[in-house]
Chain A
Amino acid sequence: MNLELPIYLDNNATTPMDPRVLEAMLPYFVEKFGNAASRNHSFGWVAEEAVDYAREQVAKLINADPKEIILTSGATEADNLAIKGVFEMYATKGDHVITCTTEHKAVLDTCKHIEKLGGHVTYLDVKEDGLIDLEELKNAITDKTILISIMYGNNETGVIQPVREISAIARKHGILFFTDATQAVGKIPVDVNADGIDLMAFSAHKMYGPKGVGALYVRRKNPRVKVTAQMDGGGHERGMRSGTLNVPAIVGFGKACELCMNEMESEAKRLSVMRDRLETSLMELEETYVNGTREHRLPHTANISFKYVEGEGLMMGFNKNIALSSGSACTSASLEPSYVLKALGLGDDLAHSSLRFGLGRFTTDEQIDFTITAIKDTVIKLREMSPLWEMFKEGVDINAIEWAHH
């Protein structure tokens, strides 16, 4: 077996760029360097043409019209533009936004920001399976609600929210529906029309494209949606996002979308088979739990807690050879375990014991085999070292112990 190490299983953080994407981008750095806004010469025309083509490729992947694609620096900017932009644009209609507790920080912190501006935000809890409760959503709606912001697929658990049901509720009440689909677009079919999406954020670097480029989809018809620009300047992107277009990155984004369009279906199948195999093998270990519903889930993501071992300690056993993420506090700057896992009702101890696996286009069966063995070995070794495991084995109720919290 010729296995190259280290193995990358953190594709929810970022994906490697597909070499075909790089190839498409290369001419636009030196040779075709024009500003897409230069209307009076061929350098500008060439750049504009490339952007137009990429915009079509991006639009096609989500079944949108190219005019509905506002190119941004990535999903964080698109999240900001959607939420702040709607909040400003529809201020006369209301000031209430509904979102949920497992959203990405780019959404949650933007919501916090509009609260500071005097807006009101409802943060829906999720159920144990990671899904929101549609009845709770309905009950949260007021006559001041202007926006529902619920993500498509979760970055930590892969849980896919019932987007069509949510959009139907939004539509019925004349409320706009925005979804952060960063992890979903390019991985599973996302169709802004069939899904009833009014605004949608997504990013190139999660789908084998370059970093620093993404898009906000803004619906133009039924209803026509507008957002107030958050960056003022030359009036690019239909006045919604000024700034000279990053032509090579946009070309790469377009190519990445085209590749996903063509390969997504078979890739999703291949990855879900590998993911399920990884999961089933690891679940052979006692006291091992999958976090979030396994039914409505992105095909490439698995989030697993190995009770009685700590995530960072666990990763140290193999992080020379395998790159992945943990919900453990020790891996975050805040020293708090994952708020997403806690929102699912996991105790801090299980959140500390979690690993997130993000498979991708370049993940192989050999890599999965290696990973299964390495993780199993490390879990067993660390449990032998864990006082909690010993107590569990002796039948001691760990929750009954009075722990000294520090």
Chain B
Amino acid sequence: MAYSEKVIDHYSNPKNVGTLDKAKVNVGTGLVGAPECGDVMRLQIEVDEESGLISDAKFKTFGCGSAIASSSLATEWLKGKTVDQALAIDNMDIVEELNLPPVKIHCSVLAEDAIKAAINDYRVKNGLPELVAEKKAH
């Protein structure tokens, strides 16, 4: 199976690899997937409290090239968005942008799950109710 150029580019030059201080109240952390399934994503957002915008996003991913690319792309898209705008990111947007083949759609779903998990973590830390996301098939 050949990878799309965009997947290769994100894999070779991943954007925003790293770790934010999860102890900070304005940092939300999402850890999704499972080692036995072959992919684990950790995605973090840092929210600027004054503007309400996501000022930084970082990821670390254990997984195939498509999983790495999906999370790398997600962090790029998150930066500069409001939390509400971030919630609107749909896995199919990632599929389209990266030209993921059908067997790799689950990588994009995982990235969306990671975004939602990070946002929920941020919300809970800031006294907001947890959002119940619709369950997507993996």
* Contacts from A to B (Cβ < 8 Å): 308-313, 316-317, 328-330, 335, 337, 347-349, 352, 384-390, 398, 401, 403-406
Contact = CB atoms under 8 A, between A and B. Distances in A.
Contacts of B31: 387, 401
18 contacts: A310-B67, A328-B38, A329-B38, A348-B36, A352-B36, A385-B68, A387-B40, A387-B41, A387-B60, A388-B35, A388-B62, A390-B19, A390-B60, A401-B31, A405-B36, A406-B34, A406-B37, A406-B106
Q: Which 5 pairs, one residue from A and one from B, show the smallest C-beta to C-beta distance? A: A403-B34, A348-B36, A349-B35, A387-B42, A406-B138
A375 to B, nearest CB: 16
A329 B35 CA distance: 12
Contacts of B38: 310-312, 328-330, 337, 348, 352
Nearest to A329: B38
B65 interface: yes
A176 to B, nearest CB: 39
A329 B14 CA distance: 23
Given A313-B68, A387-B40, A406 B3 contact: no
A404 B33 contact: yes
Contact of A330 (B17, B64, B138): B64
Contacts, number: 87
A297 B126 CA distance: 58
Contact of A348 (B19, B37, B62, B65): B37
A310 B63 contact: yes
Contacts of A335: 103
B75 interface: no
Contacts of B32: 404
A316 B64 contact: yes
Given A328-B38, A404-B34, A405-B34, A386 B62 contact: yes
Contacts of A387: 31, 40-42, 60-62
Contacts of B56: none
Contacts of B11: 313, 316-317
B19 A310 contact: no
Interface residues of B, number: 30
Nearest to A405: B34
Interface string B30-62: 011111111111100000000000000000111
Contact of A405 (B14, B37, B64, B68): B37
B63 to A, nearest CB: 5
B36 A385 contact: no
Given A405-B34, A406-B37, A313 B19 contact: no
B138 A385 contact: no
B36 A347 contact: yes
B34 A385 contact: no
A309 B35 CA distance: 10
Contacts of A398: 35
A255 B100 CA distance: 45
A348 to B, nearest CB: 4
Contacts of B34: 403-406
Interface of B: 3, 8, 11, 14, 17, 19, 31-42, 60-65, 67-68, 103, 106, 110, 138
A347 B35 CA distance: 9
Contacts of B36: 347-349, 352, 403, 405
B33 A313 contact: no
Nearest to B67: A313
Nearest to B65: A316
A337 B106 CA distance: 16
A304 B29 CA distance: 32
Contacts of A349: 35-36
Contact of B64 (A313, A348, A384, A404): A313
Contacts of B62: 308-310, 313, 386-389
Contacts of B42: 387
Contacts of B106: 406
A179 B93 CA distance: 51
Contacts of A403: 33-37, 40
A316 B1 CA distance: 11
Contacts of A313: 11, 62-65, 67-68
Given A328-B38, A385-B60, 15 more contacts: A310-B63, A310-B64, A316-B3, A316-B8, A316-B65, A328-B64, A329-B37, A347-B35, A385-B61, A386-B40, A387-B40, A387-B62, A401-B31, A403-B33, A404-B34
A389 B33 CA distance: 15
A308, A313, A335, A401, most chain B CB atoms within 10 A = A313
A315 to B, nearest CB: 9
Contacts of A311: 38
A337, A348, A405, A406, most chain B CB atoms within 10 A = A406
Given A384-B17, A387-B40, A312 B64 contact: yes
Contacts of A330: 38, 64
A311 B63 CA distance: 8
